[in-house]
A and B are shown apart, each in its own frame.
Chain A
Amino acid sequence: NAGVMQNPRHLVRRRGQEARLRCSPMKGHSHVYWYRQLPEEGLKFMVYLQKENIIDESGMPKERFSAEFPKEGPSILRIQQVVRGDSAAYFCASSPPTGEAAFFGQGTRLTVV
């Protein structure tokens, strides 16, 4: 049973480009969460999704960031027109419907140059 899979592990983008981060949840998990970790800081919640629904996006920046979890395929976190301040590690977690445990992927480390 594979864990939460995130790709790519490392992503370099120039300022103004788009970044797409992918997350495949564990088998049987229908809930996905995205977090951002800035250097020397803890994880900050961004968004919570179920299949085809955004449940809670209270942590998402209002502009340039979007997330989806389609009926088929991985969840995508999309950052448009990246800026240096977007450089961070982005983690995805998944949980079963009961929500009693969350499992984290290994993260995507985004570097904006």
Chain B
Amino acid sequence: AQSVTQPDIHITVSEGASLELRCNYSYGATPYLFWYVQSPGQGLQLLLKYFSGDTLVQGIKGFEAEFKRSQSSFNLRKPSVHWSDAAEYFCAVGYTNAGKSTFGDGTTLTVKP
């Protein structure tokens, strides 16, 4: 069965600092990989996705993620964090279909002024 691990429950960074959120997955085939962001009381917004091709994918809001097959990882990065990036971030793995995914438990990002 597929699984997704987000090792960091909570991360705090200073505004303007760089950010990396970790995601590891366990899956038997080449997965579809996603990062979502959820603000308090809101739904999920897709930041970026990887299906195939270039392993470095660009998303919205200045985020990028790199798929590393050898490490079964899909870490999310941003060079300079803004206060509005404070939210919860979810990594997800799908097989054939973006709608049916396995989600990690999320990483809560706090941004210090």
Contact = CB atoms under 8 A, between A and B. Distances in A.
Nearest to A6: B43
Contacts of A48: 97, 99-100
Contacts of B100: 33, 45, 48, 56
A99 B44 contact: no
B43 A99 contact: no
Interface of A: 4, 31-33, 35, 40-45, 48, 56, 91, 93-95, 99-107, 109
Interface in B28-61: 36, 41-46, 49, 51
Contact of B99 (A44, A93, A105, A107): A93
B43 A104 contact: yes
Interface residues of B, number: 23
Interface stretch (B12-20, B73-81, B103-111): B103-111
Contact of B43 (A40, A42, A106): A106
Contacts of B42: 106-107
Given A35-B103, A100-B49, A104-B45, 6 more contacts: A41-B106, A45-B100, A48-B100, A99-B96, A99-B97, A106-B42
Closest 6 CB pairs of A and B: A99-B97, A42-B103, A102-B99, A106-B43, A33-B99, A104-B44
